[in-house]
Chain A
Amino acid sequence: MTPFSLQTSKRLKQKVVNSLLVGCCLLTSACSQQKTDITRNGITFCSESSPASLNPQLDTSSTTADASSHQIYDRLLEFNTDNGRIEPGLASSWLVSNDGLTYTFQLRKGVKFHSTDYFTPSRNFNADDVIFSIDRWRVVSHPYHDISGGNYPYFDSLGLGNTIKDVKRINGYRVEISLYKPDSSFLANLATDFSVILSAEYAMALMKDGSPSYLDRFPIGTGPYKFLSYRKDQFIRYQRHNDYFLDSKGPENLVFDITPKSSLRVAKLITGECDAVAFPSQNDLETIRERDDLTLLEKPGLNVGFWAFNTTKAPFNDPRVRKALALAIDKTSLLEAVYLGQATRAKSLVPSASWAHQSNMQDLGYNPVAARKLLDEAGIPFNFTMNIWAMPVQRAYNPNAMKMAQLMSSYLADVGVTVNIVSYDWARFRENLTLGMHDSVLIGWSADNGDPDNFYRPLLTCAAIPSGTNRARWCNEEYDVLIESALNTEDENERRIFYHRANQVIFRETPLVPIAHAYQYQAVSNNIQGMVINPFGGIRFDDVERTP
């Protein structure tokens, strides 16, 4: 028996059904993603990681360069993203003396720095800003040199501080840089992501306030976007710099949505929460290609993924051991499994896109028998244990270092070498690498400029050990002399010969095993126009716009 009559129950039921219906309607009416004013005037870029700093002078990681270099700052010179030629930036023209020792730059007039909540500039860009920006990393006694750690890894690895003799002000808009010795890659270095121009006026104001480290956390530059706010692992916000000295079509607002998981980045691109994503993973490339509303940009990258041995540690100081380990792995199957065929096999440091590439270079093939023989010669026992450090982030040159390390460990097990795979979070990983705590590491290098010196010098010269870009910690006099000679030579053909001889040294000594030159990818929504892959460094948004 029910306690209620049928009639009341009907009425109540009707009410319930009605209220449920209303609820559903409310829910569904809220469900449609539309573009509103603000989303039409803004672009969201899903980046892969949090930048360590907002000043690219302090860090060589591409995350930092992406977040700051071409957004907040400008350089004296710029690379043309198509052909790699050097073009005017903040310097409208330049003159190189006949002996190659003196560079004179004519600076652009009327370039305005950002005016933000935390700083209002009283003057335009001039020679003082150039001198400040270069002297900060060049002069050890500069008041700003030790602020934010005092490490300038890019310049330190190239030894540029010791190349430059003086940076002199001729007049307000003319600067003269003199060198100790000719350096054929000097102009290219001034065009890299790291040679940004900071505001000297802002730096002095901060010094007066006693908070100089704000220079790198609340940046002021001349670039197309000004910095608004940054929350680690969450977002970076920028706003258009309306007084930018070039015509910029860029949106009113730019946001970097920091999304470490690559599958999530692609999912957000599909739902329209991102307009463009960094480093789509190899697994997702097909999905992106199949969709009509997305575009996949690709370009052969100026990069190299490699396996570097810590040559300061026994037994990896023995070239026979390094060569044996190189022979024990099958690079071809690594290329298929890790890069899914989206890369070319690397034989030396520079990819075929560079003029210094050597196509007839020898390569170490897969030969486990020879590998074991070499290991026996070097006195390495069976069941020798070593570690492979696998970097925790995806990069074009190595989209999945962990998987690669696992594959390699099975190859190495075949020749009687046991592998422990080690990984830390990215900042700690690089810190410990610089301290030389690894046996071997899977990492790589993306070029900052089109010059081959940008591969040979930071990756393997002696001077690059303390700055941490020489992951093999390998120091070879013959190699250093060759690289030095190449730099003192203006003629491309003569330089090429030096680099090819350096390739022979690398092949003989095997401080590292080059694995792959990967394609670079960027996935973009079709609503966005003007995105290009910048093979010479960080991502650029100055000419990116949303189509109506």
Chain B
Amino acid sequence: MINLLARYVNLVVLTIAALILISFSLPYLFPGDVLTNMSGIVPESEAQRAALEGVYKLNSSVFVQFWYYLNTLFSGNWGVSFSSQESLFDAVSIAFPATIELITYALLISVVVGIPLGFIGGIWHHKPFDFGVVTFSVVSYSFPVFWLALIFITIFSLQLGLLPLSGRVNLLYDVPHHSGFIIVDILVADIPHKADALYDALQHLILPTLSIAFVTTAIFVRFTRRSIMDVMEKGYIDAAKSRGFTTKQIFFKHGLRNALLPILPLMAMQISTLITNAMVVETIFSWPGIGNWLIQAIYQRDYPAIRIGMLVVSVFVVTLTFTIEFLSRAIDPARDKFERATI
């Protein structure tokens, strides 16, 4: 087990190192002054330029520069944005939790709805309910996320006037920033009208979360359905049946666990899809997350912000993917633990 963990950590570290190397090379590849692309500051005087060059050691060899680049990254000194001159670290630490919050809820809905539906469909496959489930999953899998989000807005916000179409919470509620998760922040905040604020935040969450969750749920339904159908045809199920176990016992003792195991690694593969969808949805719902922020940065050709945004998002995806992969390997007795680490 330790061996396996070491292999995964090794793989994660190497991948992240490669990503950092790419992000380090971006300021050289983007048009314009390398120093400005790196720091986000347009030096106004020679003295300021010299001071900045001192931080990034631009006059030294590439290896020394990379070392100092690593230093600035790990000390949280990520430079400032071109357009706003705000610290990128601060901007990311406000925007990123908003995205994580959105995907967490979307993922939660997908798991809670998708996996049971998949089980039911798989167990009674080729029955009317199963046809319903399959139809639902095919249809919602085929919806482009941005289109679905716009349809939601048209129906629920503009036509029916039931739900808000932008932001995380009505701005009149002044929720102080702690964790960056709006629900958590409201719960720990010492503000008047807490219950109202929570209610308002939940309303803001519904449409963006559902827009993302639709596609992911469809994927989970299909995985689970396929998986439980495979498991139920296995010899050990027949053996259990012949020994006189009840259907309930067979399903919970043999079916459930064995069907769930192959789903976990498949979930890991969905993380990047989930993030991409979240970015699109954030832009449509003006959700102040990393996707929205990154798209604004791209519009404004804010190179320091693009560099950091790309690094943060990719490190997040890589770490999460490897973690889930490792967990699924660790709990699945059928998979060879001494095999090489893979994704």
Q: Across the interface, which residues of B come within 8 angstroms of A234, CB to CB?
A: 288
Which residues of chain B from 133 to 158 have a CB within 8 Å of any chain A CB? 153, 156-158
Residues 1-21 of chain A, each 1 if its beta carbon lies under 8 Å from chain B, else 0: 011110011001100100000
- A425 touching B83, Cβ below 8 Å: yes
Tell whether A270 is near chain B: CB-to-CB under 8 Å: yes
Tell whether A183 is near chain B: CB-to-CB under 8 Å: no
Q: Across the interface, which residues of B come within 8 angstroms of A233, CB to CB?
A: 84, 296
- A36 touching B171, Cβ below 8 Å: no
Which residues of chain B from 94 to 129 have a CB within 8 Å of any chain A CB? 116, 120, 123-124, 127, 129
Tell whether A98 is near chain B: CB-to-CB under 8 Å: no
- B203 touching A31, Cβ below 8 Å: yes
- B162 touching A4, Cβ below 8 Å: no
Tell whether B193 is near chain A: CB-to-CB under 8 Å: yes
Task: State A36–B171 Cα separation when bound (angstroms).
Answer: 13
Give chain B nearest CB distance to A151 CB in angstroms: 14
- A33 touching B196, Cβ below 8 Å: no
Give chain A nearest CB distance to B105 CB in angstroms: 13
Give chain A nearest CB distance to B120 CB in angstroms: 6
Tell whether B286 is near chain A: CB-to-CB under 8 Å: yes
Q: Which of A251-259, A325-333, A357-365, A530-538 contacts B (4 or more CB under 8 A)?
A: A251-259
Task: State A271–B172 Cα separation when bound (angstroms).
Answer: 16
Q: Which of A8, A27, A267 meets B157, CB within 8 Å? A: A267
Tell whether B202 is near chain A: CB-to-CB under 8 Å: yes
Task: State A12–B127 Cα separation when bound (angstroms).
Answer: 14
- A39 touching B170, Cβ below 8 Å: yes
Q: Which of B165, B167, B206 meets A30, CB within 8 Å? A: B206
- B157 touching A4, Cβ below 8 Å: no
Which residues of chain B from 147 to 206 have a CB within 8 Å of any chain A CB? 153, 156-158, 161-167, 170-174, 192-193, 196-197, 199-200, 202-203, 206
Tell whether B71 is near chain A: CB-to-CB under 8 Å: no
Interface size of B by CB at 8 A reads 44
Q: Across the interface, which residues of A come within 8 angstroms of B199, CB to CB?
A: 30, 36
- A4 touching B123, Cβ below 8 Å: yes
Tell whether B274 is near chain A: CB-to-CB under 8 Å: no
Residues 246-275 of chain A, each 1 if its beta carbon lies under 8 Å from chain B, else 0: 000000010101010000100110111100
Tell whether B248 is near chain A: CB-to-CB under 8 Å: yes
- B206 touching A33, Cβ below 8 Å: no
Q: Which of A237, A253, A268 meets B166, CB within 8 Å? A: A268
Q: Which of B86, B165, B171 meets A235, CB within 8 Å? A: B171
Tell whether A44 is near chain B: CB-to-CB under 8 Å: yes
Task: State A2–B128 Cα separation when bound (angstroms).
Answer: 13
- A257 touching B171, Cβ below 8 Å: yes
Contact A36/B196 with A31-B163, A42-B172, A271-B164 known, Cβ cut-off 8 Å: yes
Q: Across the interface, which residues of A come within 8 angstroms of B273, CB to CB?
A: none
- B162 touching A39, Cβ below 8 Å: no
Q: Which of A9, A259, A270 meets B286, CB within 8 Å? A: A259
- A12 touching B165, Cβ below 8 Å: no
Task: State A253–B300 Cα separation when bound (angstroms).
Answer: 32
Contact A8/B161 with A38-B172, A38-B196 known, Cβ cut-off 8 Å: no
Task: State A304–B156 Cα separation when bound (angstroms).
Answer: 40
Tell whether B20 is near chain A: CB-to-CB under 8 Å: no
Tell whether B70 is near chain A: CB-to-CB under 8 Å: no
Give chain A nearest CB distance to B171 CB in angstroms: 4
Closest chain B residue to A12, Cβ basis: B120
Tell whether B232 is near chain A: CB-to-CB under 8 Å: yes
Q: Which of B123, B161, B173, B196 meets A3, CB within 8 Å? A: B123
- B166 touching A31, Cβ below 8 Å: no
Q: Which of A36, A255, A264, A425 meets B193, CB within 8 Å? A: A36
Task: State A36–B194 Cα separation when bound (angstroms).
Answer: 11
- A271 touching B232, Cβ below 8 Å: no
Tell whether A204 is near chain B: CB-to-CB under 8 Å: no
Q: Across the interface, which residues of B come within 8 angstroms of A259, CB to CB?
A: 166, 286
Task: State A42–B170 Cα separation when bound (angstroms).
Answer: 10
Tell whether A32 is near chain B: CB-to-CB under 8 Å: yes
- B171 touching A255, Cβ below 8 Å: yes
- A33 touching B163, Cβ below 8 Å: yes
- A44 touching B288, Cβ below 8 Å: no
Task: State A13–B120 Cα separation when bound (angstroms).
Answer: 9
Q: Across the interface, which residues of B come within 8 angstroms of A32, CB to CB?
A: 162
Task: State A235–B157 Cα separation when bound (angstroms).
Answer: 21
Give chain A nearest CB distance to B49 CB in angstroms: 19
Give chain A nearest CB distance to B47 CB in angstroms: 17
Q: Which of A8, A13, A273, A425 meets B167, CB within 8 Å? A: A273
Tell whether B237 is near chain A: CB-to-CB under 8 Å: yes
Tell whether B250 is near chain A: CB-to-CB under 8 Å: yes
Task: State A228–B173 Cα separation when bound (angstroms).
Answer: 12
Closest chain A residue to B207, Cβ basis: A31
Q: Across the interface, which residues of B come within 8 angstroms of A268, CB to CB?
A: 165-166
Contact A264/B232 with A9-B124, A13-B129 known, Cβ cut-off 8 Å: no
Tell whether A37 is near chain B: CB-to-CB under 8 Å: yes
- B124 touching A2, Cβ below 8 Å: yes
Tell whether A232 is near chain B: CB-to-CB under 8 Å: yes
- A3 touching B232, Cβ below 8 Å: yes
Tell whether B276 is near chain A: CB-to-CB under 8 Å: no
Q: Across the interface, which residues of A come within 8 angstroms of B156, CB to CB?
A: 31
Tell whether A337 is near chain B: CB-to-CB under 8 Å: no
- A33 touching B203, Cβ below 8 Å: yes
- B163 touching A44, Cβ below 8 Å: no
Q: Across the interface, which residues of A come within 8 angstroms of B166, CB to CB?
A: 259, 264, 268, 273
Tell whether B247 is near chain A: CB-to-CB under 8 Å: yes
Tell whether B257 is near chain A: CB-to-CB under 8 Å: no
Q: Which of B83, B192, B286, B288 meets A264, CB within 8 Å? A: B286
Q: Across the interface, which residues of A come within 8 angstroms of B248, CB to CB?
A: 8
Q: Across the interface, which residues of A come within 8 angstroms of B123, CB to CB?
A: 2-4
Q: Across the interface, which residues of A come within 8 angstroms of B253, CB to CB?
A: none
- A44 touching B174, Cβ below 8 Å: no
Q: Across the interface, which residues of B come within 8 angstroms of A237, CB to CB?
A: 171, 174
Give chain A nearest CB distance to B80 CB in angstroms: 12
Q: Which of A4, A9, A30, A38 meets B203, CB within 8 Å? A: A30
Contact A255/B241 with A5-B247, A36-B200 known, Cβ cut-off 8 Å: no
Q: Which of A3, A30, A425 meets B247, CB within 8 Å? A: A3
Q: Which of A264, A270, A273 is the most central at the interface, judged by chain B CB atoms within 10 Å of its CB?
A: A273
Q: Across the interface, which residues of B come within 8 angstroms of A44, CB to CB?
A: 170-172
Task: State A259–B171 Cα separation when bound (angstroms).
Answer: 13
Q: 10 pairs across A/B with beta carbons < 8 Å?
A: A4-B247, A27-B206, A30-B206, A32-B162, A33-B161, A33-B164, A37-B192, A38-B193, A233-B296, A272-B161
Leading 10 A-B pairs by shortest Cβ distance: A42-B172, A36-B196, A255-B171, A31-B162, A232-B84, A4-B247, A271-B157, A38-B193, A235-B171, A38-B172
What residues of chain A have their CB less than 8 Å away from a CB belonging to chain B?
Answer: 2-5, 8-9, 12-13, 16, 27, 30-33, 36-39, 42, 44, 228-229, 232-235, 237, 253, 255, 257, 259, 264, 267-268, 270-273, 425, 427
